[in-house]
Amino acid sequence: MKSRILRSTLLVLIILALVLTSFVSCRKKKVDDTLPPDYAPPQTEGNAEDMEEGDGSKIDTPEGGGSVGLVYEDKLTIDLSDKSVSLNFGISKRSVSNVILQLIVQDTVIVQTDLITPGQRVRTAALKEGAEAKLQPGVYSSNAKFIVNCYDPETNEKSAVRQEIPVTVTVQN
Amino acid sequence: MKKLFSLALVVALVIAMAITASAAVTTNGGTAQGDVNAEYVINELGDTYAVEVAFGSMEFTYTVTEAWDDVNHEVTSTAAWTYTAESNEIDVANDSNVTITATAAFAADTGYEAVEATFANNGAQFATAASGTITLTLDGELPASTDGKIGTITVTIAKYVPAEG
């Protein structure tokens, strides 16, 4: 009888321990991997291509600030087998700032480019390592967005102002 | 027998003429003639965005000025946020083929939650070829000895969708 009580108590304790462990792991702060660097990386985006020439003028930019001419479409396609995204995103030659573009789906960074400089466009980009495992074929139309992080071209410092653009992402095999 | 042969020849001749007449392209004195077919195909243009965003340095100064209250015999202080011209502005120009909205939001870094941001002209609509300015003013208390980044401003650019009804 005593041993049965002991075993039952032990079992209850084990279950309690398991429940507590899983609760603590769930409460553990999720590592925020959505933060782009404070200073721009030296390497420019390998998939970027030149856009057509502008008239040479620049956006009228307040002193100490920045500017971007965003040229884009808000619909993009992810090919899981290829681990790549097809998109149309560029910053016009009239821009002053450089840019790092992120594609975020449901708070997870799926794509993060290297530095895009004024007059460049990106039509394809690789998914972040392991991102393909987090996506399923279908359409992600809510909580999918571009984050445009601007960098000063002289100091490489990240600007205080960034842009967010809601997008629709179609994922296919 | 000859009659039979002649008849067969005539039949063959008639069939040959019929085949020639039914061809779409004929040759008449060395000139080729035929129908010209065409199909109208349009690659419809989707929403295409071209938006220029220019922003100031977003550098603000929080100045605390002390004074002596000779009635209550204590030091009093007043605080004010100041900024240089244009440094608090976000200019938006829309050259897209759709109307957009631009909405700014301020996210304070840890330790600066007491700082409050107010944006004028926030959430404004910009039709094609329209432009405008969102301005930021700060309020609230800044912790003493602060000298650096206190938060981030995010400007959300979205297609304007009219409310139903």
Read off the pLDDT of residues B86-135 as tens digits, 9 standing for 90 and up.
Answer: 999 999 999 999 999 999 999 999 999 999 999 999 999 999 999 999 99
How far is the C-alpha of B121 from the C-alpha of B93, rounded, in Å? 14
How far is the C-alpha of A171 from the C-alpha of A52, rounded, in Å? 30
pLDDT, tens digit, 9 for 90 and up, residues B152-161:
999 999 999 9
pLDDT-based confidence at residue B38 (cuts at 50, 70, 90):
very high
How close is the nearest chain B Cα to the Cα of A173, in Å? Answer: 24
Query: Global pTM?
Result: 0.77
How close is the nearest chain A Cα to the Cα of B91, in Å? Answer: 9
How far is the C-alpha of B127 from the C-alpha of B96, rounded, in Å? 8
How far is the C-alpha of B95 from the C-alpha of B52, rounded, in Å? 8
Stretches in chain A below the pLDDT threshold 50: 26-32
What are the chain B neighbours of A161 within 8 Å (beta carbons)? 53, 55, 58, 90, 152-155
Beta strand A108-112 with B49-55 is: unpaired
User: Average model confidence (pLDDT) for chain B?
Assistant: 88
ipTM over 0.85 threshold: no
What are the chain B neighbours of A165 within 8 Å (beta carbons)? 49, 156-158
